[in-house]
Amino acid sequence: MNKAIPETRHLVLAVNDDPASDLALYAWLAERGVAVLRAYSTEHALRLLTRARVQLVISDLARQEGQILNKTAGIALAQAIRALGCDAPMVIFTNDKSPQIKTLALEAGANHVTEHGDALLEWLRNQGI
């Protein structure tokens, strides 16, 4: 018997220069009826945000953008999103455990920063996903 496809309830923007690393997350979101817009750079994400109303943004912290590794791309994205007037909740997922990064990200407009997959899923559930 085929499993029923859930109705789309949310649109999430996921920003990662290596989307293959997020396949399990995308599957988890799809099981909950979440449609995912994928962006591969800060610039790409901002273009998508001007074209679609998203309910939530998930971003990695560091991204290869062009020929440069931007170690704080997620922070720059948070600032740019807030400058656009977008108030969608935003989480930054990172391997960087330094408290300074978390402070900078929150000051830039991110709502949550985590390096743990389980904490990310819990935060997403708390957002109604």
User: Count of domains in the chain?
Assistant: 1
The pLDDT of residue 5 is 54
What is the DSSP-derived secondary structure letter of residue 32? T
The pLDDT of residue 3 is 59
Query: Does residue 5 lie in a domain region?
Result: no
In percent, the amount of the chain with pLDDT more than 70 equals: 94
Domain of 61, CATH number, reads 3.40.50.2300
The pLDDT of residue 7 is 57
Residue 90 has pLDDT above 70, yes or no: yes
Q: What is the mean pLDDT of the chain?
A: 92
Residue 54 has pLDDT above 60, yes or no: yes
Residue 113 has pLDDT above 70, yes or no: yes
Residue 56: enclosing H or E segment and its boundaries? strand 56-60
How many whole angstroms separate alpha carbon 80 and alpha carbon 103?
17
Query: Does residue 1 lie in a domain region?
Result: no
Residue that has been written with the tokens 């935003």 in this structure: 90
pLDDT in tens, 11-31: 999 999 987 888 999 999 999
The tokens of 125 are what? 């559930």
Range of the domain at 33: 10-126
Quick one: how far is CA 2 from the chain centroid?
30
